[in-house]
Chain A
Amino acid sequence: MSDPSPKNPAEDTESEPRPGRARKPIGWSTIFIAVLVAVSAALVWRRDGTDGVLDILTHDLSLFSGILPRVLAGCLLGAFISEILPHEKVSRSLGPKSGLMGLLIGTAFGAILPGGPFTVYPVGSALLAVGADFGAVIAMVVSWTLIGYGRAVAWEIPIMGTDFTLWRILISLPLPVLAGALGRFVYVRLYRKLPTKDDET
């Protein structure tokens, strides 16, 4: 809040073209999964016959139709967030120089972000595009996966029990910040793109 810059953030978001999130063509990872799925389906067919294949197909199709609206929500959330967050503010509070505070903000953000993988990855990608650094986004992604409430409430508590889940989350509390700090530490030494005069982070 102590920003002396006279820049008008509204004008900033209007005039600046969004750094592109390049859309990837079908890459090797998709091909890898396609082959894996084809081989697995063939093995299931040999073991259980056509009925076995169709059983799994109908189950997964219903799963997919349930997930689809959430994927849309995640994409919209990512697009809106990258549009409304002013770049300078994001790079100040989540950028390479944001220090421990940036990692804590990333962690908190990951912990409260609603939804699943269909939310966290589009939002993380949007934050990277508007000036967050790898460290802060690593903290966010790791925090979502380890201490986010969404998966814990929906899956872990029913299956693993409340005691184990809360205890496991307690153990995981420091990990996102540590992962983000390690990420930053390695990133600076690996890519050497940043001036390192105040790299006490």
Chain B
Amino acid sequence: MSAALFIDILLWGSVIGVGLIAFRRGRPVFVASLREGAMDFVNIVPRIALGVIGSGYIAAIIPQEVITGWLGPDSGWLGVTAAVVAGAATPGGPVIGFSIGAVALKSGGGVPQVVAYVVAWALFAFQRVILWEIPFMPARFVWFRCAVSVPFPFLAAAIAAVIGKP
């Protein structure tokens, strides 16, 4: 996929860019940060392995239809709340999250509800929070960030309801 390649090039380009800056600050700085990054990598890999390799099983036992059902044409704030919970509870990666959103949109789900779902999934998908965010960030930050983000799927749904369909 060319988008993935594009992102890889940008990613490694950035690494090389900041690496060069570090190198120009002197060899010790460069070597120290190289070692630091490598240690982070070694420490994080077991957890990432568990999550990525295990996520297929989690996704396989939570059928997408269950979550799509929560996004039905049931309008109103109750529907939005259900969509937010569904977004947080969706297992697996972006393919699953967006596919559920797309299915809901096609099968008559309300637009504010689908927006609330996609935004809530982006903010809270439990698997990403547990597998990626907590291993890398201070746990206190992660919980704080999640708590503070709670109003925003609702706000997004409200904006969507006001400005109308795409």
Binding site for B on A (CB under 8 A): 10, 13-14, 18, 21, 23-24, 26-27, 29-30, 32-34, 36-37, 40-41, 43-44, 52-53, 56-57, 59-61, 63-64, 67-68, 70-84, 114-119, 121-122, 124-125, 128, 134, 137-138, 141-142, 145-146, 150-151, 153-156, 159-161, 163-164, 166-168, 171-172, 175, 178-179, 182-183, 186-187
Contact = CB atoms under 8 A, between A and B. Distances in A.
A74 B37 CA distance: 8
A60 B127 CA distance: 15
Contact of B58 (A30, A40, A61, A182): A40
A60 B22 contact: no
B45 A125 contact: no
A125 B134 CA distance: 10
A53, A56, A84, A154: residue with the most chain B Cβ atoms closer than 10 Å: A84
Contacts of B51: 33
Query: In which size bucket is the chain B interface?
Result: 35 or more
Question: Chain B binding site: helix, strand, loop or mixed by DSSP?
Answer: helix
Nearest to B53: A60
Report which residue of A61, A74, A80, A122 has the largest number of chain B beta carbons within 10 angstroms of its beta carbon: A80
A21 B40 CA distance: 9
Contact of B14 (A53, A67, A77, A145): A77
Given A70-B11, A155-B94, A156-B98, A145 B52 contact: no
B95 interface: yes
A40 B119 CA distance: 26
B7 A115 contact: yes
A84 B141 CA distance: 23
Contacts of B13: 114
Interface string B14-39: 11001101100110110011101111
